Structure 1
Amino acid sequence: MLNLPVEFKEKYQRLLGDSQAKAFFDALNKENKKAFRINTLKPNQVSYDLSKKVPEISNAYYGEVNGQDPEWVSGTVYSQDPSAMFPAFIANVKEGDHVLDLCAAPGGKSTALAEKLNGSGVLVANEISSGRAKALRENIERWGVKNAVITNESPANLSPHFTQYFDEILVDAPCSGEGMFRKNPEAIKYWSQDYVLTCQERQKEILTEAVKMLKPNGQLIYSTCTFSPEEDEEIVSWLVETYNMKIVPIELASDKISHGKNEWGSVSGLDHTLRFWPQDGLGEGQFAAILQMPDGKIAKVKKQKIKKGDRSTRRLTKNDQKLVEKVLDKFNLNFDWTAAVVRNDHVFLPAIDKDLKGLKIVNNGLELGIMKKNRFEPSHQLVEVLGELPQEDVIDLENQDNYLSYLHGETVRVDSKKLKGFVLVSFKGLIFSFGKAANGTLKNFYPKGLRILKK
């Protein structure tokens, strides 16, 4: 039984009435629902039960994913709360768009946005926390995304570089976390009405920078994982009143999805926003809205002097190209690597060629690998991209013991003696790593930071 604050219970009894409030509080004391999405960028080869679908989302199912499963390690599935899938799902992203996920970690929404882009356009995934930005990179990399720029910045530092640049911006704003109470009871300890109002001010600060980066007629997807009207309907009202934005209706048919309340804000059209209540039975608490910028230049941006481009980045030399080709020519590719550049020996295909000097860039596009003395060593990100297409130079580990040994970082013995050099490593047909084969031995190239303890 959750120990809900008295002030919290009184607030929602006042907002919902005694009957609805009781259903709400009762639902908070029930078990939370787990779900996963299947990666549409990769072959949909999973061993999970797919009989219980998440409403509306074709590639989402209820069920639990283990972090050691080959489906997870290969980036074939992403474990995500079902309600949290909807902000990216409702985004009107088209192939070729410029998209920003401003508060992106751990990456569930970014991976879904990347699927909609389908390798075209660009996704900027930003996270202000350096620790969480690392997890964001791992998840985007695992998903096989090659057109993302991952930044570790405050919105205020990001906006001068991307003034009116994006077609869609998703802001899953930091909030009071009421929607996570049953999933993470520790969040209850931090709750107070003062904290709700503090979060509201922080959300306004973030959104003030976000609108500077949105194109005229561009769309802002705003979401939170809280029930608080101060952070939901009131924020949407503030966006409409401050920036003359328009609330875009969202057409979803499921009876497990509720709508925002006009009486909880100060503008009309709030009933076109979405609310996810635990008593509706879909997932955890969530709020989502789409707002459209008016035509014409709206945001006033203080111009900042941006430094010149980074001279440490260079094109591949002829010798570099030979070394890269020697490794890559055996694989089936869905990109042209010849336009790659080198920076600090890292070979990559940039997702953005505009000047990013002055920003903390965690990753820009597809890292192909590292140039070492007279050789080229391919990257783990490249593996996850190659897993999107059928490949021939693959060694399957065949049994659970070999698979867990490989995840642990061990060299394993394999039957194949025909393949030599860098090969792709799979388990149950799902590609997840590079290895180096020689005389029946498979040298381990699974990244040290991803390795797990062998049971």
Structure 2
Amino acid sequence: MLDLPTEFIEKYQQLLGEEEAQKLVASLQTESKKAYRINSLKFKQKTPKSTDQPVPDIPHAYYGEVSSQDPEWVSGSVYSQDPAAMFPAYIAKVEPGENVLDLCAAPGGKTTALSEALKNKGLLVANEISATRVKALRENLERFGISNALITNNDSEALAKKFPNFFDTILVDAPCSGEGMFRKNPDAITYWSQDYVLTCAERQKDILTEAVKMLKPNGKLIYSTCTFSPEEDEAIVLWLVEKYGMTIEKANHVVSEKVSYGNPSFINSDLEDLKKTLRFWPQDNLGEGQFAAILRMPDEEVEVKSKKKKKQKNRKGLTNEEKGFVKKVLDHFNLPESLQNWEENACVRQDHVFIPAINPSELKGLKIVNNGVELGLLKKNRFEPGHQLAEVLGQVDQENVVELDSSEDYKKYLHGETLRVKTELRGFILVAREGFIFSFGKVTGNGVLKNFYPKGLRILKDE
């Protein structure tokens, strides 16, 4: 049983009335809902998991649980995510070719959904201020096979100086008091208080002040939290409307009766458009708690003080010899559209060969975690393909694949062990389990499969 703060219960008794507040409190004592999304960048190859319990409104999303050791997860063919948390990226309705920013991106659920909508076209910037959480963000985006993402580890002010009036769409899933996470993460209860709610609201304003500087005129802001608190939800949306002249848009494509809407009376406002915002209550039995709003910037630019841009240096491309080393490996695989012009687009830095999502010379002063797709590493007179490349290649059908037929061999490979396999293939190959490509390997002349699964992702034998 969750020991909910008396102050929390009394707050929602006042807002909702005794009966509805009782439903909220009772729902927080039940188990949280688990769900997953199927990665549409990869699912044509093989549809993973059961699809008989769809999440309302969200395409390719289903209730159920996926283990982090399942081949569907390891290959990036699915992403485990709270059902309600799927809606902010869904209502963004981004289009291929847009410049999109996920400002508070870790661990990556919303970012991966945005990447599906972009279809590897345009630019996706995924930022996370926490140096610890950004590592999980990178792993999840790499696993998903995203080729147009720039991952950064900065505060919003640093990004605003670099990208003034730049993005078509920005998603801000803001740090909040976490009321909607109580049953999923009971630790959130221990630091909740009304004072903390108000502190979070001020922090959200600070983040959004910088976010709006990065929106193009008429750009779209998706604001979301995982809390019910009106101080962090309707009140913040009203602040954006009043301070920046933004307009609230309705998510016409959300039709489920399990979704509730914003309530102007919660903050003593008469702004009817607040009813266009979305709120997800756990008692509605869709998922955890969530709030989301679509806001549109006015047509004029927000004035931003930024440093004068210096003339950018050309990126360092590959020499003909280096291209030959890379080509010798890549010629054995079918390349998705995003990689087909690699000879023209690839560059090299400290022997790392990558196709940048944005010219590296334009990013000076930012903490860059990953830029585009790392193809691999140049070594003495050879090229060694990287793990991110394997996950991107998993988007299309491949012939040079070694299938691990037994669960025992699959577990051994995830541990980092070398295997003996029956195959006529030699050299670098892709490794799959149940049809899901998840790694590179290298087959030697005597049929030994050398393990190229990254050490940082390997699973210990006792897990």
Please indicate the TM-score interval, normalised by the length of the shorter structure: over 0.9
Aligned amino acid, residue 291 of structure 2: F
Note the aligned Cα RMSD (angstroms). 1.2
* Among 435, 442, 460, the residue aligned to 1:436: 442
Task: Note the C-alpha offset of 1:296.
Answer: 1.3
Output the CA distance in 1 between the equivalents of 2:166 and 2:308: 17
Counterpart position of 2:293? 289
* Among 283, 301, 306, the residue aligned to 1:303: 306
Task: Note the C-alpha offset of 1:233.
Answer: 0.1
Output the CA distance in 1 between the equivalents of 2:313 and 2:419: 42
Give the conservation status (yes or no) of the 8 Å contact 1:402–1:412: yes
Aligned amino acid, residue 364 of structure 2: K
Question: What secondary structure is seen at the aligned counterpart in 2 of 1:99?
Answer: strand
Task: Note the C-alpha offset of 1:302.
Answer: 1.7
Give the conservation status (yes or no) of the 8 Å contact 2:48–2:77: no
Q: Show the 5 A alignment for 1:175-194.
A: 175-194=176-195
TM-score normalised per structure 2: 0.96
Q: Show the 5 A alignment for 1:296-335.
A: 296-297=300-301, 299-305=302-308, 309=312, 313-334=315-336, 335=339
Question: What secondary structure is seen at the aligned counterpart in 1 of 2:408?
Answer: helix
Task: Note the C-alpha offset of 1:47.
Answer: 4.9
Aligned amino acid, residue 436 of structure 1: K
Output the CA distance in 2 between the equivalents of 1:204 and 1:310: 36
Give the conservation status (yes or no) of the 8 Å contact 1:54–1:60: yes
Q: Show the 5 A alignment for 1:301-450.
A: 301-305=304-308, 309=312, 313-334=315-336, 335=339, 336-338=341-343, 339-353=345-359, 355-416=362-423, 418-438=424-444, 439-450=446-457
Question: What secondary structure is seen at the aligned counterpart in 2 of 1:358?
Answer: coil
Aligned amino acid, residue 270 of structure 1: L
How many residues are paired up?
A: 452
Q: Show the 5 A alignment for 1:155-170.
A: 155-170=156-171
Give the conservation status (yes or no) of the 8 Å contact 2:72–2:436: yes
Q: Using a 3 Å threshold, how does the CA distance of structure 1 residues 358 and 309 change in structure 2: closer, same or farther?
A: farther
Output the CA distance in 1 between the equivalents of 2:461 and 2:58: 35
Give the conservation status (yes or no) of the 8 Å contact 2:400–2:430: yes
Task: Note the C-alpha offset of 1:305.
Answer: 4.9
Output the CA distance in 2 between the equivalents of 1:54 and 1:114: 19
Give the conservation status (yes or no) of the 8 Å contact 1:324–1:376: yes
Aligned amino acid, residue 72 of structure 2: E
Aligned amino acid, residue 334 of structure 2: N
Output the CA distance in 2 between the equivalents of 1:50 and 1:411: 35
Output the CA distance in 1 between the equivalents of 2:249 and 2:175: 22
Structure 1 unmatched ranges of 5 or more: none
The C-alpha deviation readout for 1:77-97, integer Å capped at 9, x for no partner, is: 000000000000110200100
Give the conservation status (yes or no) of the 8 Å contact 1:248–1:290: yes
Output the CA distance in 1 between the equivalents of 2:420 and 2:408: 11
The C-alpha deviation readout for 1:65-124, integer Å capped at 9, x for no partner, is: 100000000000000000000000110200100000000000000000000000100100
Give the conservation status (yes or no) of the 8 Å contact 1:168–1:220: yes
Output the CA distance in 1 between the equivalents of 2:388 and 2:266: 45
Task: Note the C-alpha offset of 1:300.
Answer: 2.3
Output the CA distance in 1 between the equivalents of 2:306 and 2:144: 36
Output the CA distance in 2 between the equivalents of 1:158 and 1:152: 10
Counterpart position of 1:135? 136
Give the conservation status (yes or no) of the 8 Å contact 1:307–1:357: no
The C-alpha deviation readout for 1:265-293, integer Å capped at 9, x for no partner, is: 43330100000000000000000000000
Q: Using a 3 Å threshold, how does the CA distance of structure 1 residues 308 and 130 change in structure 2: closer, same or farther?
A: farther
Output the CA distance in 2 between the equivalents of 1:248 and 1:58: 21
Output the CA distance in 1 between the equivalents of 2:407 and 2:236: 50
Of 171-180 and 365-374, deviating more is 365-374
TM-score normalised per structure 1: 0.97
Task: Note the C-alpha offset of 1:373.
Answer: 1.2
Aligned amino acid, residue 447 of structure 2: G
Give the conservation status (yes or no) of the 8 Å contact 1:308–1:357: no
Counterpart position of 2:119? 118
Aligned amino acid, residue 307 of structure 2: Q
Output the CA distance in 2 between the equivalents of 1:300 and 1:346: 38
Question: What secondary structure is seen at the aligned counterpart in 2 of 1:14?
Answer: helix
The C-alpha deviation readout for 1:103-155, integer Å capped at 9, x for no partner, is: 00000000000000001001000000111111101100100000000000000
Aligned amino acid, residue 407 of structure 1: L
Aligned amino acid, residue 7 of structure 2: E
Output the CA distance in 2 between the equivalents of 1:359 and 1:309: 15
Output the CA distance in 2 between the equivalents of 1:409 and 1:309: 42
Counterpart position of 1:5? 5
Of 300-309 and 53-62, deviating more is 300-309
Output the CA distance in 2 between the equivalents of 1:171 and 1:92: 15
Question: What secondary structure is seen at the aligned counterpart in 2 of 1:269?
Answer: helix
Output the CA distance in 2 between the equivalents of 1:40 and 1:350: 22
Give the conservation status (yes or no) of the 8 Å contact 1:308–1:355: no
Task: Note the C-alpha offset of 1:375.
Answer: 1.0
Output the CA distance in 2 between the equivalents of 1:104 and 1:344: 28
Give the conservation status (yes or no) of the 8 Å contact 2:48–2:78: no
Of 331-340 and 149-158, deviating more is 331-340
Counterpart position of 1:92? 93
Question: What secondary structure is seen at the aligned counterpart in 2 of 1:284?
Answer: coil
- Alignment partner of 1:258 is 2:263: no
